[in-house]
Amino acid sequence: MLFSLFLSVHALAAHVRLDQIPVQGSIDVPSALVKKYEDTKIKFLEDYYKVDQENALVFSSDVQLPDDLAYIASQQIKYRDPDDTSDLYPGKSDRYNGISQAGYLTYGHLPMEQHCFDPEKLADLELDIVVLGAPFDTGISYKPGSRFGPDAIRQGTRKFAPAYSPYREGLNVWNNWAKIVDCGNVPMTPLDNRVALDQLYRSERAILNHSTTKANPGKYPRFLALGGDHTISYSGIRAAHEKFGKVSVLHFDAHLDTVNPYYMNPNVTEYAALNHGTYLYWAHRKGWTADNNIHAGLRGWYEDRGDPSRDYSESKFAKIMARDVDKIGVQGIIDKIKERLGNSPVYISFDIDVLDPPSAPGTGSLEPGGWSSRELLEIIDGLAGLYVVGADVTEVSPWGDSTNDVTSIMAGEVARSILGLMVLTPELKE
């Protein structure tokens, strides 16, 4: 009906008589309404919209519309006071009071903080959970591009609003006790991996050493990093260990990432030995991770026959294979993860390639046979009760993504589910 009204107005502007428009033949309009138009010779439209001599449309407010259009005409916006901008800042706008492209590009329209890493201004910031970007991909072994992942993930959350979960009753990640902010991307040099990872570590360390808001039931803030290749977990685990002691790692990935680099290549240099396939080996060797870590979603082929046995003996990881979902189901996987991690500080290290390629084509090391997006989100949501002290979502390479940004959107949704775990469990249970 609105489209019919628009065509009628358009015809008036072009000096075409309204009763000459083939409304019924070209538009699906209820026959009773069309008959009313014809019976009244659509005089109400001729009165309601008038065209002056210059073909400019003139609005007349004193016309009495038929009941069919009275409701539409009555739905007029109530404008705010011209000096009221309370609905315009990031984190407030949604589909009803602002388009999804409004404001700066932040994760899910979160408030943007520009001084998270400024030592002179950091102390004045209020925060409980921080989202930050790690634009780094020089630890990758196959297809690059994940340095552009942080902003791609943010773009994938443009349609987010402060809404309630359809599965976790009452959970609104945006409207709760937590002050969640987006601190933008950490400055990470692309010229030296050691310097870049140290820059990220010091940024995450500064966040964990910050005070929390008074509403926070816990003692410490937490962070979620948007990668970036998976090497960035090395910095996050290091920072989390300094604040919480040894952390138990929940590692979602198609690949082990605990590879001993000297079995992979006995002549590997010290510089090359730390990469997106070895960082978990180094994290445990340095004493940052506990002995109850677990992989979830594995299916990548092993580079060395001894990799799976060393995965446990050297890094203390249990394994959940991708095909286990067909044997024990989603709930069985949730139970195994919870049983393994117990009541301990948890770091979630997430690689988007844990998903089946159609669910996340934009990544550097695709592996067929992964979990569906539904299975994965159900697993993460089912982990409520874990004390997640830090996390990352990595390996999103937008250059390989679909034209519909499937990977970026999926990564943004994964991040939201992880943030939900942080909100639901603000402190370690005694």
Q: What is the DSSP secondary structure assignment for residue 299, as one 8-state letter?
A: -
Per-residue model confidence (pLDDT) at position 98: 56
Share of the chain above pLDDT 90, in %: 62
Per-residue model confidence (pLDDT) at position 161: 85
Share of the chain above pLDDT 70, in %: 76
Residue 39 predicted with pLDDT over 70: no
Per-residue model confidence (pLDDT) at position 303: 87
Residue 239 predicted with pLDDT over 90: yes
The structure tokens 């050691």 sit at: 194
- In one letter, which amino acid is 1? M
Residue 34 predicted with pLDDT over 70: no
* String of DSSP letters for 29-92: --HHHHHHHHHTTTHHHHHHEEE-TTS-EEE-SS----HHHHHHHH----PPPTT--TT-STTT
Residue 129 predicted with pLDDT over 80: yes
Separation of alpha carbons 412 and 415, rounded Å: 5
Q: What is the mean pLDDT of the chain?
A: 84
By CB atoms closer than 10 A (0-12, 13-18, 19+), residue 39 is: exposed
Per-residue model confidence (pLDDT) at position 389: 98
Residue 393 predicted with pLDDT over 60: yes
Residue 45 predicted with pLDDT over 70: no
Residue 29 predicted with pLDDT over 90: no
Cα–Cα distances in angstroms (integers) from residue 95 to residues 85, 92, 99, 152, 313, in the given order: 17, 10, 5, 20, 51
- CA angle, 179 then 248 then 220, to 5°: 25
Per-residue model confidence (pLDDT) at position 19: 42
User: Is the pLDDT higher at 14 or at 150?
Assistant: 150
DSSP, collapsed to helix, strand or coil, labels residue 373 as helix
Q: 54: pLDDT confidence band, cut at 50, 70 and 90? A: very low
Residue 171 predicted with pLDDT over 50: yes
Q: 123: pLDDT confidence band, cut at 50, 70 and 90? A: confident
Per-residue model confidence (pLDDT) at position 1: 44
Residue 17 predicted with pLDDT over 50: no
| Number of neighbours of residue 314 by Cβ within 10 angstroms | 16
Q: 11: pLDDT confidence band, cut at 50, 70 and 90? A: very low
Query: Taking a C-beta distance cutoff of 8 angstroms, is the pair 362, 407 a contact?
Result: yes
Per-residue model confidence (pLDDT) at position 103: 72
Q: What is the mean pLDDT of residues 329-350?
A: 98
Residues 6+ apart with CB under 8 A from 22: none
Per-residue model confidence (pLDDT) at position 247: 98
User: Is the pLDDT higher at 284 or at 86?
Assistant: 284
Q: What is the mean pLDDT of residues 276-280?
A: 94
User: Is the pLDDT higher at 58 or at 211?
Assistant: 211
* Dihedral sign of CA atoms 24, 28, 31, 36 in order: negative
Mean pLDDT lowest among 28-37, 205-214, 324-333, 381-390:
28-37
Per-residue model confidence (pLDDT) at position 43: 54
- For residue range 408-419, list pLDDT tens digits in order: 999 999 999 999
Mean pLDDT lowest among 112-116, 246-250, 276-280, 403-407:
112-116
Q: 337: pLDDT confidence band, cut at 50, 70 and 90? A: very high
Mean pLDDT lowest among 61-75, 233-247, 373-387:
61-75
Per-residue model confidence (pLDDT) at position 325: 98
Separation of alpha carbons 300 and 395, rounded Å: 15
Per-residue model confidence (pLDDT) at position 115: 87
Q: What is the mean pLDDT of residues 193-210?
A: 93
Q: What is the mean pLDDT of residues 145-166?
A: 92
- For residue range 375-385, list pLDDT tens digits in order: 999 999 999 99
- What domains appear along the chain, each with residue ranges and CATH number? 2-74 (no CATH), 107-424 (3.40.800.10)
Query: Taking a C-beta distance cutoff of 8 angstroms, is the pair 412, 107 a contact?
Result: yes
Q: 33: pLDDT confidence band, cut at 50, 70 and 90? A: low
- In one letter, which amino acid is 422? M
Query: Taking a C-beta distance cutoff of 8 angstroms, is the pair 274, 232 a contact?
Result: no
